[in-house]
Amino acid sequence: MDFDLDHLRSWIGAGETMSEVLSPQLVMRFNATVGCETAIEPGSAAPLMVHFCLAQPSAGLEKLGPDGHPARGGFLPPVPLPRRMWAGGEIEFRAPLIIGSEVTRQSTITDVELKQGRSGALCFVTVNHDYSCGGQISVRERQDIVYREPPEAGGAGPRKQEDAAPAGAHHLTVTPTPTMLFRYSAITFNGHRIHYDAPYAREVEGYGGLVVHGPLQATLMAHMAADHAGKSPALFSFRGKSPLFDDVPFGVHAEMTEDGMSLWTARDGGPIAMQAKASW
């Protein structure tokens, strides 16, 4: 496949700004979806990672691509690869977002790179997001998006030769039902069909079932880190390694380290699906 990398890199510096009031109702739906209990009254600190739900692009149905994402060539560059995934990122928590306040997201494309992986061409797009509340930046995030070539038959699942993930000193089990994945897609306004359209996920993108969202896994790990430390981390980074599906439960694991906490997700007997690090 031919790439005009210079053309794609012309998107570097492109920006997008959107705002939304962080309502108690959104917090209630977020808590109900990810299984946490927090204050919901206006003026209270919002739960960790709720920023993924805020001020998201709202493209009309006629502006969506066949995968359910907004068609390419708007804010994001028109990468000519069919499969888009949230590869990972890093989040700096500077201050809590406040329920009832208007939150503004300012996003900027900072890099576009082309690499060659074992499965073919990979195009990485880096986007920085600043979430401001009350005139100050509360959350600063780097989002890493990867575009990939179509998979070979059965090629989207975890590779069999990968070692099984260890169990962590702290762990919990999550059962990712289709309802849970649909709800998370809804509260984050994520139209990607791999999370709620099982025939599409299997037959078009080659996955073994409905795919558990990367940001949902990151949210569960960040909450575990905050619960065990008694406070939100100052810095949280995460990286996807292999997909999780809705067919079996998965574990959220954590171990304390010299400089913070190491976390990961994995199905029983399977490889690490997502790896994360929290520091305070």
80: tokens are: 């000519």
Task: Write down the CATH number for the domain with range 5-279.
Answer: 3.10.129.10
In the three-class reduction of DSSP (H, G, I as helix; E, B as strand; rest coil), residue 159 is classed as coil
Strands 120-133 and 235-240 turn out to be: unpaired
Cβ count near 60 (within 10 Å): 7
- Short-list 15, 85, 18, CA closest to 51: 18
Separation CA 65–CA 210 (nearest Å): 19
pLDDT at 266: 99
- Percentage helix, strand, coil for the chain under 3-state DSSP, each rounded to 5: 20, 35, 45
Across the chain, how many H-helices and E-strands are there? 5, 10
Phi and psi angles of residue 80, each rounded to the nearest 5 degrees, phi first: -85, 45
Answer whether 129's CB lies under 8 Å from 143's CB. Answer: yes
> For residue 279, which of 265, 258, 264 has the smallest C-alpha distance?
258
The C-alpha atoms of residue 97 and residue 22 are separated, in whole angstroms, by 8
Query: What are the sequence ranges of the domains in the chain?
Result: 5-279
Question: For residues 127, 132, 136 and 139, what is the CA-based torsion angle, rounded to 10 degrees?
Answer: -60
Query: For residue 261, what pLDDT is reported?
Result: 99
Blockwise average pLDDT, block size 10, the chain, 280 residues: 89 98 99 97 98 96 93 90 94 98 99 89 97 97 95 57 91 98 98 98 96 99 97 98 96 98 98 98
